[in-house]
Amino acid sequence: MMQVELKQIKKSYNQKTEVIKGIDVKIEPGEFFVLVGPSGCGKSTLLRLIAGLEKITSGDLLIGEQYGNDLEPSKRNLSMVFQNYALYPHLSVEENIMFGLHVKKISKEEQKERCYQVAEMLGIVHYLKRKPKELSGGQRQRVALARAIVTHAPICLMDEPLSNLDAKLRTKMRSEIRQLQKKLGITMIYVTHDQTEAMTMADRMMILNEGEVQQLGKPLDLYNNPANVFVASFIGSPAMNLMTVDILHSTFRNGNWFFPISHEMMDRIGDRTDVIFGVRPEHIHVTKKEEGYPVEVANVEILGTETLINFVIAEGIQWIARCAGQLPLSIGDTIYIYIKSEDVFLFDKKSEEILSRKKVSVPIASLEAVK
């Protein structure tokens, strides 16, 4: 196991184009660390800086205890899996897996032994004599993983390795990569734009936007306690419902919609006259007429175990509610909703930073309940 530390890392392609803007993070030995953000946020560039495929403009990179800024990629004691697999089409699967071992001057007997071990681990022993063109996308991905693992490098970098796979295979490979990383005890730095991948795979995750860190922490901490509007809207599927609201006579208002302000909320608001109001789709409850606020259904998606309801909350603004079960609703129906005060997120309208609230920690399930 080996740690990776970034100290005020910056990357500029010229004096006017700064794509990485001073990133500080320590990735612990054996950690599954995920870099996540929208396309163009700088996550792949950051991975390439760690790999040595791009030159660091300023800041310090430490790989283990070694200063890494000027190290050649081959001297950094890491492996990398690319988005496009980067397999050699004229070589067999076996030759692709062992390709990096030739450079390390490992004996042919050990190369064969390592290759068979990792192929057995990933279930590709029967494909060792095939060429990459004879494999499916998932099989090629396993070959790329095998080539990275066979080197026994203590650090593995992955740049959106599952983006070319179909949804079912992506889910399967997520689980396989996570289990493999834990089994081998390697430090994994994984890049993705898919927040579901990030949430389900990461020990910790770092959300980037325009080359800057938006928030760093455990997936559920970021979900339950987002630092700003960007994180709140990026993490979660469907995304958090957001709306700018005015503050008038102890209520939040937008058009005809209103919501009473609790004492705890009033402490957060201070002397502001408007804020950004947010609530997760699963925290919007459908209730009886006399207990809720009326809204018009704009769309319904019944997904088997749950129903997603798009509804008009205010003029020109639609929100989504996520409800358990199968609700027989139609477009144009009127439903009644309510929201608990403790489920509301409030953000400063100008800075878009969250207005302080008690940290929420929601248990997935009680262990006692499943014994």
3-state secondary structure of 183: helix
Same domain, 223 and 81: yes
What CATH number is associated with residue 146?
Answer: 3.40.50.300
What CATH number is associated with residue 289?
Answer: 2.40.50.140
Burial, 308: exposed, middle or buried (Cβ in 10 Å; 0-12, 13-18, 19+)? middle
DSSP string, 261-293: PPHHHHHHHTT-SEEEEEE-GGG-EEE-GGGSE
Residue 226's Cβ-side half-sphere holds a number of Cα atoms within 13 Å equal to 23
What is the CB neighbour count within 10 angstroms for residue 66?
Answer: 12
Q: Is 370 a domain residue? A: no
Same domain, 199 and 89: yes
Q: Which residues contact 236 (CB under 8 A, 6 or more apart)?
A: 195, 223, 280, 281
Q: What is the pLDDT of residue 258?
A: 92
Q: Is 371 a domain residue? A: no
Q: How far apart are CA 212 and CA 189, in angstroms?
A: 17
34 in Cβ contact with 188 (< 8 Å): no
Q: Is 196 a domain residue? A: yes
User: Measuring CA to CA, how many Å separate 265 from each of 239, 262, 275, 285, 362?
Assistant: 22, 5, 11, 20, 20
Paired sense of beta strands 78-81 and 155-159, if any: parallel
Same domain, 168 and 273: no
Same domain, 222 and 111: yes
Q: What is the pLDDT of residue 166?
A: 81
Q: Is 181 a domain residue? A: yes
% helix, strand, coil for the chain, step of 5: 30, 35, 35
Q: What is the pLDDT of residue 369?
A: 45
Same domain, 192 and 284: no
Q: Which residues contact 33 (CB under 8 A, 6 or more apart)?
A: 27, 187, 188, 189, 190, 202, 203, 204, 205, 206
> Which domain-ending residue is among 229, 259, 293?
229
Q: Is 364 a domain residue? A: no
Same domain, 222 and 263: no
Same domain, 17 and 42: yes
64 in Cβ contact with 72 (< 8 Å): no
> Which domain-ending residue is among 170, 200, 229?
229
Q: What is the pLDDT of residue 291?
A: 87
Q: What is the pLDDT of residue 359?
A: 54
Q: Is 150 a domain residue? A: yes
Same domain, 181 and 122: yes
Q: Residue ranges of the chain with pLDDT lower than 70? A: 357-371
Q: What is the pLDDT of residue 167?
A: 82
Q: What is the pLDDT of residue 283?
A: 96
Q: Is 106 a domain residue? A: yes
DSSP letter, residue 225: S
- Of the candidates 95, 207, 71, the one whose C-alpha atom is nearest the C-alpha of residue 150 is 95
3-state secondary structure of 185: coil
Same domain, 61 and 96: yes
3-state secondary structure of 88: coil
> Which domain-ending residue is among 212, 229, 246?
229
DSSP string, 25-79: EEEPTT-EEEEE-STTSSHHHHHHHHHTSS--SEEEEEETTEE-TT--GGGS-EE
Paired sense of beta strands 32-36 and 204-209, if any: parallel
Same domain, 108 and 206: yes
3-state secondary structure of 85: coil
Q: How far apart are CA 172 and CA 233, in angstroms?
A: 26
- The domain tally of the chain equals 2
Domain residues for the domain of 243 are 238-357
Same domain, 117 and 209: yes
Same domain, 145 and 170: yes
3 φψ region: left (φ > 0), alpha (ψ -120 to 50), beta (else): beta
Q: What is the pLDDT of residue 358?
A: 58
Cis amide bond preceding 161, omega within 30: no
Q: Which helix (H) or strand (E) holds 154?
A: none
Q: Is 368 a domain residue? A: no
Number of H helices, E strands in the chain: 9, 20
